[in-house]
Structure 1
Amino acid sequence: MPESLRIAFFGSSLLSAYWNGAATYYRGLIRALHRRGHRITFYEPDAFDRQSHRDLDPPDWAEVVVYPGEDESGALRALEQARGADVVVKASGVGVFDALLEREVLQLRSPRTTVVFWDVDAPATLERVAADRADPFRKLIPGYDLVLTYGGGPRVVDAYRGLGARDCVPVYNALDPDTHYPVAADPRFAADLGFLGNRLPDREARVGRYFFDAARRAPTQRFLLGGAGWEDPLPANVARLGHVSTRDHNAFNCSVRMVLNVNRDSMARFGWSPPTRVFEAAGAGACLIVDAWAGIEAFLEPGKEVLVADDGAQVAEYLGLIDAALARRIGERARRRLLAEHTYDHRAAQVEDLLLAREKAVA
Structure 2
Amino acid sequence: MRLVVLGLSITSSWGNGHATTFRALLRGMAARGHEVSFLERDVPWYAANRDLPEPPFCRTFLYGEPGELKERFAGLVADADTVMVGSYVPDGIEVAAWACATARGVTAFYDIDTPVTLAALERGECAYLAPGLIPGFDLYLSFTGGPVLERLEKVWGARAARPLYCSVDTDAYRPTGQKPRLALGYLGTYSPDRQPGLDSLLLEPARRCPKLRFAVAGPQYPAEIAWPANVERTEHLPPAAHPGFYGAQLFTLNVTRADMRAAGHAPSVRLFEAAACGVPVISDRWPGIEELFRPGEEILLAERPEEVVALLQELPEERRRAIGAAARERVLRAHGAEARAGELETWLEEARRARPGAGRPAA
Equivalent position of 1:118 in the other structure: 110
Q: Which amino acid aligns with 1:99?
A: I
- Give, in whole Å, the separation in 2 of the partners of 1:323 and 1:250: 23
Contact 1:87 1:114 in 2 (8 A): yes
Name the amino acid aligned to 1:34. Answer: A
Partner deviation per Cα, 1:297-317 (whole Å, 9 max, x = no partner)? 111111111100112221122
Residue aligning to 2:288: 295
Number of the residue aligned with 1:51: 47
Is the aligned partner of 1:36 residue 2:32? yes
Tell me the distance in 1 between the aligned counterparts of 2:316 and 2:235. Answer: 27
Q: 1:134–1:223: structure 2 CA closer, same or farther, 3 Å change rule?
A: closer
Verify the 8 A CA contact 2:205 2:306 in the aligned structure 1. yes
Letter in 2 for 1:131: R
Instruction: Quickly say closer, same or farther: Cα 1:59–1:216, change in 2 above 3 A.
Output: same
- Greater shift, 302-311 or 231-240, is seen at 231-240
- How many Å separate the matches in 1 of 2:274 and 2:291? 17
**Equivalent residue, structure 2, for 1:358:** 351
Aligned: 1:286 with 2:279 = yes
- Find the residue that maps to 1:293 and give its secondary structure: coil
CA deviation digits over 1:124-174, x for unaligned, max 9? 001111233998611111111110012x22221022112100010001122
CA distance in structure 2 between the aligned counterparts of 1:57 and 1:139, rounded to whole angstroms: 34
Gaps of 5+ in 2: none
Tell me by how many angstroms 1:359 deviates: 3.1
- The size of the alignment, in residue pairs, is 351
Q: Give the SS at the match of 2:45.
A: coil
Q: What is the 5 A alignment of 1:1-363?
A: 5-68=1-64, 71-80=65-74, 81-94=76-89, 96-110=90-104, 113-132=105-124, 137-150=130-143, 152-161=144-153, 162-185=155-178, 190-230=181-221, 231=223, 232-361=225-354, 362=358, 363=360
**Whole-angstrom distance in 1 between the partners of 2:219 and 2:148:** 29
SS at match of 2:79: coil
TM-score calculated relative to the size of structure 1: 0.91
SS, match of residue 22 in structure 1: helix
Cα shift at 1:295: 0.9
| Cα displacement (A) at 1:8 | 0.8
State the one-letter code of the partner of 1:101. Answer: V
Tell me how far apart the structure 2 counterparts of residues 214 and 121 of structure 1 sit (CA, whole Å).
29
Structure 2 length normalisation: TM-score? 0.91
The answer to whether the Cα contact below 8 Å between 1:88 and 1:116 also exists between their aligned partners in 2 is yes
Q: Distance in 1 between matches of 2:42 and 2:198?
A: 30
Code of the residue aligned with 1:157 in structure 2: it is: L
- The answer to whether the 8 Å contact 1:194/1:224 transfers is yes
Give per-residue Cα distances to partners, 1:31-57, cap 9 Å, x unaligned. Answer: 111111111100111125213222224
Counterpart secondary structure, 1:153: coil
Amino acid at match of 2:184: L
Secondary structure of 2:39's counterpart equals strand
**What is the Cα-based RMSD across aligned positions, in Å?**
1.9
Contact map agreement 1:102 1:137 (CA 8 A) in 2:
no
Q: Is the Cα–Cα contact under 8 Å of residues 77 and 99 in structure 2 kept in the other structure?
A: no
The one-letter amino acid of 1:97's match is D
Conserved? CA contact 1:75–1:97, under 8 Å = no
Q: Distance in 2 between the 1:204 and 1:224 partners?
A: 15
Structure 1 counterpart of 2:119, which letter?
A: E
Find the aligned partners of 1:281 and 1:243 in 2 and give their Cα distance: 17
| Mapped contact 2:66–2:95 kept (Cα < 8 A) | no
Identity fraction in percent: 32
Q: Structure 1 residue 360: deviation in Å?
A: 4.0
Q: Distance in 1 between matches of 2:230 and 2:353?
A: 58
- 1:6 deviates by 0.7
Q: Deviations over 1:77-109 (max 9, x none)?
A: 355242221111100012x21221122212124
